[in-house]
Amino acid sequence: MVSTLNKVLFSSVASAVVSTSVLAADIVKIDGSSTVYPITEAVAEEFQKETGIKVTVGVSGTGGGFKKFCRGETVISNASRPIKAKEIAKCNEAGISFIEVPVAFDALTVVINKNNDWAKELTPAELKKAWGPDAQGKISNWNQIREGFPDQPLKLYGPGADSGTFDYFTEAIIEKSKSIRGDFTASEDDNVLVQGVAGDKGGMGYFGLAYYVENKDKINSVKIQNKDGKFINPSLETVMDGSYNPLSRPLFIYLNATKAAFDPKVKKFVEFFLKNAGKLSQEVGYVPFSKTEYEAINNHYKSLKTGTAFKDGPAIGLSVEEILKKATD
């Protein structure tokens, strides 16, 4: 009797283990950038409806996503900046090679409160004055940013240090990676940043274009002076024509090369992603590549070429065409 019961219990446990491992094997695990999340989540929803294959999409920031990716915990990593040398080293240590795939373009958007009627335009130098490390404990009022601005306390809201958006902003505006004042409200959740700026008349923040588009009834975007001296609004058109600089940037997914080559569900997902990325990225507020450009990206993916084309760091100020040429050559 005991022997039979043990057999039944063993059989049940074994079945549960097999069932769990099968279920785990049927999941495509993704993590990383909060900026890329809306695109990947939209693709994942459509993919699951069509195939029944489960896709999980986490948000731990670009840096946090690469940590999981290089430990083999995920098969795809969302990134709003290119992978860094130290992250490549971690992947190499774990025997993980990767394929770098640009999926859309973004306009990093500076935002202010709806009741802010004075800072509709800002220069990169003024952004640096507000956000630079030298501003900590010193620049606390809008009237310190520009003569003529009102006596209004300045409250800053931005991504945390694990964010690719944080990295790109500091390189493009402060001109030194991760160099920034420490006394601002930081969060990897862009919705928290939206709420902060929306609830604070003196608030200023920055994040990806999609989160501004989704919340433009609550906050305003700021025109940023470009290299030609013109003040430009972030939009699909100004990213595509190259006038919104220096805050335009490419967005990526990074693929575990072994899984991309040999795991049927991962291959299926990536092919579905690239087929639908243009339509879905525009739907959620980002700037898609053209059909021809996505074909070039797809060919790059199918070649299984590993490594990064951005060994020198974020490609600040490059056009869509220049980014694609660099990424797919």
Q: Are residues 207 and 255 in the same domain?
A: no
pLDDT number for residue 39: 95
* Cα distance between residue 100 and residue 227, in whole Å: 29
Q: Are residues 264 and 171 in the same domain?
A: no
State how many domains the chain has. 2
* Amino acid at the residue 136: Q
pTM: 0.81
* Cα distance between residue 130 and residue 145, in whole Å: 7
pLDDT number for residue 228: 95
Give the end of a domain, one of 178, 207, 233.
Answer: 233
Of the CA atoms within 13 Å of residue 239, those in its CB half-sphere come to 25
pLDDT number for residue 28: 96
pLDDT number for residue 319: 65
What are 50's two structure tokens? 């069509």
Burial letters for 169-208: b for 16+ Cβ neighbours within 10 Å, e otherwise? Answer: bbbbbbeebeebbeebbbbbebeebbbbbbebebbbbbbb
pLDDT number for residue 15: 33
What are 219's two structure tokens? 């906050």
Q: Are residues 118 and 97 in the same domain?
A: no
* Cα distance between residue 256 and residue 328, in whole Å: 17
pLDDT number for residue 19: 31
Q: Are residues 210 and 312 in the same domain?
A: no
How many helices (H) does the chain have, and how many strands (E)?
13, 13
Whether 245 is in a domain gets the answer no
The C-alpha angle 129, 130, 133, rounded to 5 degrees, equals 75
Q: Are residues 214 and 115 in the same domain?
A: yes
Q: Are residues 282 and 301 in the same domain?
A: yes
* Domain housing 188: 109-233
pLDDT number for residue 57: 97
Whether 208 is in a domain gets the answer yes
Judged by DSSP in three states, 262 sits in: helix
CATH of the domain at 74: 3.40.190.10
Taking 70 as the pLDDT cut, the residues of the chain under it are: 1-25, 315, 317-321, 328
Judged by DSSP in three states, 98 sits in: strand
- Interhelix angle 37-51/264-283, nearest 10 degrees: 120
